[in-house]
Structures are given as C-alpha cells and as structure tokens.
Structure 1
C-alpha cells in the first residue's frame, strides 16, 4: 500500500530506525538510545530474514523466473482469516444499516495488488525507475481473496474506493491492473492517486502530505461526498490511521514499513 517513491525509499529509513531504535540529539552531538543493538547477535541476519519472508509467502518460481506467493502459504491463510471476518462484518452492515451511501476503502499495493515478485526481483531495495517500469509492463496478481471481497462488497451495495500513493502518472496502468485481476472498476471517480504537481484543494498539506495525512484527508473528502466509510483496508498502519472509517482491517506485510 503513498507516494510510491516515498513509500519505498522511506522503507530503508524505517528499517534503519528500527535497528538503532532512535537517535537522540543532545549537546550538538548524536547519541544512540539505550535500545540500540549492543551486538550483532541482537540483529536478525538479512539472509535469514529474506528466507523467512519467502517461507511465509510460500515462494514459488515459474518457468520465466518470476516469484509468486502460494495460495497454500501461511500468508494466504492469514489473509483469508482477516477477509472472512471482514466479509461477515460487511454483510451484517449491508443488511441492517439501511439505504445510506456506504463505502469501503482499499489501498492498492500489498492490499489489493501483490508486489511480492517486484520485491524479490529487487531484493527489497526500491528503485523508482525499475518500479515505474514494472508497473507499466507487468500485471501484479491480486492479494489472495481481496478481489473477491471487493466484488462481493460491491454486490452488497458498497461503493469501492481505492486510495494509493502511486503517482497520477501511473493511473492508466493501475486501473488496467485492478480490472485485469477481478477488482470492481477503478476510474477517476473512485481511484485516488498522489498528484504532487496539482494536489487537490481538500488536502491542506498539498504536496507535502505524509501518508497518514494524504489518506485520512482523502477519506474525509469521500465522507464529504455523502459516503459512510464502513471499512478501510491497508497493509500499513499509515494507511489506516487518522480516522474517517468505522472499522479498519490490517493486511499483513512483513516486506517493508511505511511511517
């Protein structure tokens, strides 16, 4: 699930911050907090961590050398459990909450569409050029079951909105990818993308919004159009923070962290 460039590049900052815990500026110098690792034994080896991620996703490799998560993986099982609870919740709300305009919100990357293959190709190191090329030339698969959840919600009367930090320049590719893997149609009215050159007036932070500000502000805008946001789905806490949704559902993603 952000400005795509910011999301991936800040991942490195976030990981580094997790390792050193925090840096405290005092007396003009930089001092590490007490929780910083005192030994290499306190830090997970990166080779081991990548192996763990691949095992969790049930890494499979096709004839072309592309990596895909497995539908039998622990990742797929965990996602399925979350979706089961969400579908039950949405069905109940659709049945009992009358005729008001109801909506659900979906983040795109690693909430709706899986970036797992791209992450493996780049060994979890984001590059804006390779990322843009990947989005323009490849079809990312749906996160297991999320296309079915969204389609079912639409049939129950929910309007499906997508809020992504991908830049506006990637709109056509994003719309096509979502449609190709079975999501309800995404277009100008329901797919919100980052537009740094011409940010919308409803975002006071303009081109400088954090992920939380951008996404919560966009949800507030959707509410101003008369919608009640019954559920908000995202793979990052920053996709979900800031209110403007009755309930949030966190999709697992151990590959990166976006503050």
Structure 2
C-alpha cells in the first residue's frame, strides 16, 4: 500500500472528484480527512470509506474561505493523528457568465474558494510538513490552468493562479521535503460540469449537445470525458512520489484536450 498510515486532508471531498481521491487514498491505507462545507455529508462519506478500508477516514466541517475554520480543522487533525502528510486542495465551484455580466460578488466568491482556499489550507498545513521533513501539497487545477474558455473569467484566472502558488510552495518547501504539484483535469462529468451544460447553452445561444461536443469534448482525441477515477490516480501519483524530483509541476489529464 502506497499511503499506509499517511494522514491526508482532502477538501471538498464529500462528493465528486474529492470523494474519488479520498476513496483511492483509503484503499492505499491512508488516514483521510473528508473536509467539506457539508458536515453531515462528510461524516457519511467517511463512514462509508472506513467500512471498506483498509485505511480509515473522518469527516470534518471546513469552509476553506475562513482562516479560522481552516486553522481549527487542521488543528483537530493534528490532535487526532499528530501529523499531516498530504493536502489536496480540491474544494471548488463554478459560475459562468460573460465578463460584462459577471457580478463582482461572484468574481470574489470564485477567487475566495479556489485561491484563498488553497492559500489558507497550505498555510495551515505546511508548518507541520516542514517540521516532519516531508509532505505533498496537491492543488486541483484544470486544463483551464493553461487554456481559456468563454464565460469562465474567474475560473480561468483562479486556475492559472494555482500554478504560480504551487511553484512558490515547491521552492519554499523543497529544502524540507515538501512538494507541491497541480492536477489539471479536462472535463469530468460531475454535477458541477452537468450544471454548466444548460447554462453555457443559454448564454452562447447553442444547443446542449453542441456545448458537450464542441465546447467540452471537441478538443479531445476521442470525445471522451475524463473520469473521477482518472484524476484520483494522478492524485495518488503525486501523494506517493516522495522526492523533490517531482515538484512544482502540473499534470494534465484531459484526453488530449490540452497537450503540454
């Protein structure tokens, strides 16, 4: 087992990609923290994963935009398990609109969840990782960390920003064995993406089928959605790769939608 007894915090992991990563980590023997805005869902997910083993999980409430909530959540993990080996900053939402119609409040909300959340969780976890001389910080980017699509000004800005944050963390954490990398999935058919399909169809004046075939999958090599399991495998790679040979990098998982 690649992560036996490793303590892993995964934000936004009561469902979707985050839950798939948590499930993969538990299957590899990790002690996983399901950190989510929805406490009840986090606890239920943790109970399900613990029942399957061989690792275990707990659920905690965490608003990643609140420094107090993040700090108290990480402190609770330290009190229970004494260390943090892996942080996956995965919590995120999507709001689509044309720039001229994009509410400033929505812009700030998007950047707060994606960027402030990554910064605050990193700030809370990295002192423990440095003290134990090792750790992995993984940011959930996107193909939109490298590319752009209409209607996604805040999302694209935030996902580009994660690349810069990861590179700084890699340089600052490197001497103490702390690595930072970014996973950049293509379109994964989660509720977040399914919600976008009718929204983009309405705002762009095209059919929902065209949104999927042209906007989402038109650039892939096989017109296939990336799966949550695909992303979880990359999260396992970054978590289990324990040298600085792989740090400050982004790995695109997109069926060829974007090629580096």
TM-score by length of 2: 0.30
Q: Which has the higher contact order (CA 8 A, sep 6+)?
A: 1
Instruction: Give the number of the structure whose alpha-carbon radius of gyration is greater.
Output: 1
More helix by share: 2
